[in-house]
Amino acid sequence: MQELSVRHLLGIKDITPEDIQLIFETADNFKDVLNRPIKKVPSLRDITIANVFFENSTRTRLSFELAEKRLSADVINFSSSGSSVKKGETLLDTVNNILAMKVDMIVMRHSSPGAPHFLSRHIAANIVNAGDGTHEHPTQALLDTFSIREKLGEVAGKKVVIIGDILHSRVALSNIFALQKLGAEVMVCGPITLLPKYIKELGVKVELNIRKALEWCDVANVLRIQLERQQMKYFPSLREYTLYYGINKQILDSLGKEIVLMHPGPINRGVELSSDAADSHHSIILNQVENGVAIRMAILYLLASKK
């Protein structure tokens, strides 16, 4: 059996194009499993996985939990809001206490960039990064690129624009790395105040005009405005943002070509996407959610063999 080149999934930056292809091929098999009447396989029957979330999450947490249960793993859920973290316990102590209960794998989301990398140097269990601050969100990038491959046949040579709050988005950075490793052209588009200062050094195109960006691309991955991470005002109002960067069906229909519309969720309807665009035939947003379970099953299964 082929195996991953890494023991942990900390970020797309750390994995190879071959790792990504292996994850995709494994996910193809698990997608078949998910479409069966009995959606469960005994692949991780002896494995205990802890979902350790220090930040709010709906889709990612549910998707991981479902993936773990579909693989027959034992699952424990940890949320920092009702835990000893509130009493002053450190991250390392929290995780070591969980590991003392003989847990094999940790799925972790944390508000501090680099938190999973720090843990990986101190504990023996496999770690999957479910998002660390504004740094990376590798499983989201893998399910996004897997969804593009499923819709368009391949990722290589495709033109993908990432639109919105690039500055505060961990999804944007992971997607840039994943798309480039698979041979896609990448552009970012948004207000200049929401674009990182040195974004061009990642080898991406920069466009401030959304119309030009949509005319250039095959795929538009639209991000929400992350108001909870913004310490200051980056644009006058949400209404003005929608006026200049909101996508609606009228814009999509006027392009004269078919593009694929994506969003990692949660969608702020009426801000970055109108309802008629989000629910249009261009959109593969719900396919992304479905593919998330298969991708996460593949990652957990492949990492479980890397003891």
Q: Which residues are annotated as a binding site for carbamoyl phosphate?
A: 59-60, 109, 137, 140, 265-266
CA distance 282 to 43: 36
- CA proximity to 170, closest of 159, 181, 178, 160: 178
Please provide residue 139's backbone torsions phi and psi, each rounded to the nearest 5 degrees. Answer: -70, -30
Coil, helix or strand at residue 49: strand
CA distance 179 to 219: 11
Q: Residue 51 in contact with residue 64, Cβ under 8 Å?
A: yes
* All residues at 6 or more sequence positions from 78 whose CB lies less than 8 Å from its CB, including other chains: 50, 51, 52, 53, 94, 98
List binding-site positions: 59-60, 87, 109, 137, 140, 170, 224, 265-266
127 secondary structure, DSSP code: E
* All residues at 6 or more sequence positions from 108 whose CB lies less than 8 Å from its CB, including other chains: 52, 53, 54, 95, 115, 116, 119, 127, 128, 129, 130, 132
- CA proximity to 153, closest of 34, 33, 24, 257: 24
Q: Residue 111 in contact with residue 133, Cβ under 8 Å?
A: yes
Q: Sign of torsion, CA 110 116 119 124?
A: positive
List binding-site positions for L-aspartate: 87, 170, 224
CA distance 283 to 59: 18
What does the DSSP assignment read for 170-224? HHHHHHHHHHHHTT-EEEEES-GGGS-TTGGGGT-EEES-HHHHHHH-SEEEE--
